Chain A
Amino acid sequence: NAGVTQTPKFQVLKTGQSMTLQCAQDMNHEYMSWYRQDPGMGLRLIHYSVGAGITDQGEVPNGYNVSRSTTEDFPLRLLSAAPSQTSVYFCASSSTGTSEYEQYFGPGTRLTVT
């Protein structure tokens, strides 16, 4: 099993550009989520999904879109990048039910917006 994979590992964008961060998992997990991690702020939930076709907002959803067309993939789209979106982004997945909070994290994408 590859677990949770994220691409790219690093990305530099100019203000106003758009891009998609990719996330895939091969554990057949229903629950997937996106977090951003900033110094002094900890991990903050952006969006999450409890299954294909179902998504919901987390703590900091503005400026980001998600969709979940398959169980395996959960891409995160930045619509018009801003310097405030410079961060490390982590995707995570878990089973639902009693294992729901045992989340497996990907290696992260380091994004810089200039």
Chain B
Amino acid sequence: QKEVEQDPGPLSVPEGAIVSLNCTYSNSAFQYFMWYRQYSRKGPELLMYTYSSGNKEDGRFTAQVDKSSKYISLFIRDSQPSDSATYLCAIGGNNRLAFGKGNQVVVIP
């Protein structure tokens, strides 16, 4: 079983819709949870970072962590064409990060 599972299917939504992305993880020793955004032909950039269960909001973005279920989510409200990118979940612990495969999101104007 991989440490982080993220269904890599692409996602197309109309502008203004809510985007919902999620990952599961297997190793409860990992205690830090991140979402990275990667634009085409660029390096990933950190979008959200949390280390506790519950919700964390930053503008239109909400990261949700459920440690009991080993499940993390990212919600993007009022999606914009500029949100079109690949979103990668990552979990951290023991001096390293394990990444999901990423979801390509396309927001259609």
Contacts and interface: CB of A to CB of B under 8 A. Distances in A.
Interface residues of B, number: 22
Contact of A105 (B32, B41, B43): B43
Nearest to B4: A42
A45 interface: yes
B32 A101 contact: yes
Nearest to A31: B95
A68 B98 CA distance: 22
A75 interface: no
Interface string B30-51: 0010100000011111100100
Contacts, number: 53
A16 interface: no
Contacts of A40: 8, 101
Q: Which of A42, A44, A48, A104 has the most CB of B within 10 A?
A: A42
B32 A90 contact: no
Interface in B43-94: 43-46, 49, 88, 90, 92
Contacts of A92: 43
